[in-house]
Amino acid sequence: MQELLRSFQGWVTGLGPLGWVLYALVYAVCCVLFVPGSILTLGAGALYGLWTGTAIVLAGATLGATLSFLLAKSVLRKKIERMTAANAKFAALDRAIAKEGAKIVFLIRLSPVFPFTYINYAFGLTGVGTAPYVLASFVGMIPGTFAYVYLGAAAVTAASGQMDATKKALQIGGAVVALAVTIFVARVATKAIRTAGVVAKNSST
């Protein structure tokens, strides 16, 4: 699958705005099919730069998360219920969302407590509404998306030879700072999630 995604990235490079749309759509499909999107996230920065890459990934991730959520609410509901039936974390998540709704969705998007593709479906079994879910997901995914797209863009810039040493150092330093801030925010969000009772305080995640 990784090789297929790399081939896809090479194919869309010269398609302009059409490539942006196709990239976002493929990202969404990967979310629905439980395919990790890290290659596509980093690749978006490498191919399209920081701002366009971030916008493409956010569009694709939000669309994929929404499709998974709606599938779990409808045709895949019984299957997802079987998948989550024995999961204590999901039971705690469901209780927390019943109390605080979109706030918990937002915090989970900031923190890697649950695998992204899995939790998209699990959210569909909770009581959170579609509009609050989409909005909280979109906003909550911004810091992590920005940081990882930045890493992809910085890596290409550093390897291109088009910048002097000082500019390269600033570019790489900026990527490291962005990632460090994202990790800090994720830790704060994880602490808040534990306080809400979604994850046990002695959990390693």
Per-residue confidence (pLDDT) for residue 164, from 0 to 100: 56
Per-residue confidence (pLDDT) for residue 60, from 0 to 100: 96
Coil vs helix vs strand at 11: helix
Burial code of 116-144, b = ≥16 C-beta within 10 A, e = fewer? Answer: bbbbbbbbbbbebeeeebbebbbbbbebb
Summarize the confidence of residues 169-185 as an average pLDDT.
67
Domain ranges of the chain: 2-195
Any idea what DSSP says for residue 99?
Answer: H
Percent of the chain with pLDDT over 70: 80
Per-residue confidence (pLDDT) for residue 134, from 0 to 100: 96
Q: Tell me: the pLDDT tens digits for 67-103?
A: 999 999 999 888 888 887 777 777 777 778 877 788 8
- Give DSSP secondary structure letters for 45-77: HHHH-HHHHHHHHHHHHHHHHHHHHHHHHTTTH
**Model confidence at 131: pLDDT above 70:** yes
**Angle 102-110/130-160 helices, nearest 10 degrees?**
20
Phi/psi region, residue 197 (left: phi>0; alpha: psi -120 to 50; beta: rest), is left
pTM of the predicted model as reported, rounded to 2 decimal places: 0.82
How far apart, in whole angstroms, are the C-alpha atoms of residue 68 and residue 119? Answer: 9
Neighbours of 24 (CB within 10 A): 22
Q: Tell me: the pLDDT tens digits for 31-75?
A: 999 988 888 999 999 899 889 999 999 999 999 999 999 999 999
- How does residue 30 score in pLDDT terms, banded at 50, 70 and 90? very high
Both tokens of 4, joined, read 């297929």
Summarize the confidence of residues 118-123 as an average pLDDT.
89
Residues in the chain: 205
Query: What single letter denotes the amino acid at residue 112?
Result: P
Per-residue confidence (pLDDT) for residue 38, from 0 to 100: 85
Percent of the chain with pLDDT over 90: 30
- How does residue 204 score in pLDDT terms, banded at 50, 70 and 90? very low
Structural contact between residues 47 and 82, judged by C-beta atoms closer than 8 angstroms: no
How far apart, in whole angstroms, are the C-alpha atoms of residue 60 and residue 4? Answer: 18
